[in-house]
Structure 1
Amino acid sequence: TVWPDTRIQRCLFHVQANIFGLTGMRPRLEAGRRLRRIALALPRVRDGAAAADWLASYNQWEQDFAGFLDEKSEYADGSVNDMHQRLVRARRMIRGRIREGRLFTFLDEDLTENGTIPSTNNLIESWNGRIRDMLRHHRGLRLIRQLKAICWWCHQHTEHPETDAWLAANAVTDERLESLYRKAWENSPQGRYETFGIPMRHGTGIDWNDFHTRVDWPSND
């Protein structure tokens, strides 16, 4: 880690979106509906009291549906899995976010002495959008050229850009970019599989439950 003491704030919008992705927009089960309401309240947290209330509401959800989430399904091949897999995944994800202590960093008084801290990465996303727009206006560039264009764009939009001579002398070389890209690829699930034969982790394959139901399908006979 380059800056090991840097405090990190999770984007609350994306945490909310991750929960919605597991509950769906119109959950059928009461546990899903309750969790979705809790997720809706997350971006509205503005102070320590609201953060404590949000954590309390989530803890109450876990307690109320603990037995429900622990229910198991046994399949014809003898395997056993969680009956409510998506909600169990949501619980695991939220527990991890709470445990890492990065949900409400923006409320730390020691960090807000010089101004407020955003709870989302909307500002970053706006810059990413401008970079994507630049690439759309320069279609046809091969990958290395795209990466160089991004480096150039970021440099030109810094507060005090260097001279053209400095940029030419210190520009990232094609070889350096290719090396960085290969390292990133080899560390990705698909890259590990294709490069080293390491199987991809759970979540990248087909889920049996996506194509089957736990009850008999109604017949028209």
Structure 2
Amino acid sequence: MLDGTYFNGWCVLIAFNGQHVIDWQWCDTEKKIAWQALLERIPAPKIAIIDGGTGLRSALKDSWPSTRVQRCYFHIFRNIRRELTYQPRLPAGKELAALTSALMKVRTQEEAASWVREYARWEARWDEFLRHRTYARTGQERPSSVPQTSQWWYTHQRLRRARNIYRRLIKDKCLFTWLETTLQPDSGQKVHRTTSPLEGGPNKAIKDLLRFHRGLPEAHARTAVDWLLDSLTEFPREPWTLVSPEHFNPPRKQAVNEETDTPPTYDNHFSWEDGNGLQNGWGGRRHQ
């Protein structure tokens, strides 16, 4: 399982096998080069369960080309609902929402094949409807995603985006990878269809750690997260191996010379420029 979690302007990318943290990588965002730095340190597995970020997908193709991908069902559900909303008004949207709910209940390859057939029927049934166009007219409000120079746009854009999500998943064959028996691990470990064990495990532990220890300096917070993730690996390092001589004798902070390093306006001497002294004349009060 591969996922990233954010805090205080940082992102930590985590590889997790369902039981232990394998490795992690610090970065600012989940971009391709950051994911590659992590993936290239790990032997390619049979299956990678991901949330669908473009940077990670691109890194997988380059670093783990033989690894099959399983898209997280929770993220699929969330992405589809974002386009359809939880109460779609159009019949096509209601049917696709029902198909999305049915997808969450698929447990066997036979049920998966049946779901794909039902989805194909949905596409065929609503293909002409999804081709409807709206033509620009004076004073007509257009969607924010449509350029001002466009003379027309597809009327049901959000439905089309939801359809394209499923089209891409089926084309890339990453919707039912978790059901393929030839890809089951030799250890008998269960192949998950979501990244929930990672979200509820290491990611939650990081958020809890930082919430319980609010106010940690940035460097201290990162060290704490490193220590936490190391403790969640299969073979955590012995704490004393991380101690070096400079930890016993940390460098002293250089003392500030108040006479040379501090501006005179910050000390206790008298300065007319500060506005000190007697003031005559109008002091901001209204004259009666």
Structures share fold, TM-score greater than 0.5: yes
CA distance in 2, matches of 1:148, 1:98: 41
Q: Aligned residue for 1:28?
A: 89
Q: 2:194 aligns with which of 107, 114, 120?
A: 120
Using a 3 Å threshold, how does the CA distance of structure 1 residues 8 and 167 change in structure 2: closer, same or farther? farther
Of Structure 1 and Structure 2, the greater strand share is in 2
Instruction: State whether structure 2 residue 131 is matched by structure 1 residue 70.
Output: yes
Provide the identity percentage. 34
Gapped runs of 5+ residues in structure 1? 170-221
1:22-171 matches, cutoff 5 A: 22-76=83-137, 79-112=151-184, 114-127=188-201, 128-168=203-243
What is the CA-CA distance between 1:153 and the residue it aligns to?
0.6
Question: TM-score, normalising length from structure 2?
Answer: 0.55
1:61-109 Cα distance to aligned partner (Å, 9 max, x none) = 1110001111111123662111001001111111111111111111111
Bigger mean CA deviation after superposition, 38-47 or 148-157: 148-157
Question: Please, what TM-score do these two structures have when normalized by structure 1?
Answer: 0.70
Structure 1 window deviating more from structure 2 (120-129 vs 156-165): it is: 156-165
Provide Cα deviations, 1:132-169, integer angstroms capped at 9, x if missing partner.
11111121234444333222110012222112243346
Counterpart amino acid of 1:156? S
More helix by share: 1
Query: Measured at CA, do residues 61 and 160 of structure 1 come closer, stay the same or move farther in structure 2, by a change above 3 Å?
Result: same
Cα distance in 2 between the residues matched to 1:9 and 1:38: 19
**Aligned pairs, how many?**
169
CA distance in 2, matches of 1:108, 1:144: 44
Mapping for residues 194-213 of structure 1, pairs under 5 Å: none
Larger-gyration structure (1/2): 2
Q: Deviations over 1:8-64 (max 9, x none)?
A: 211112211211111111111000000000000111111111111111111111110
Mark the runs of 5 or more structure 2 residues left unpaired by the alignment: 1-35, 45-63, 139-149, 245-288
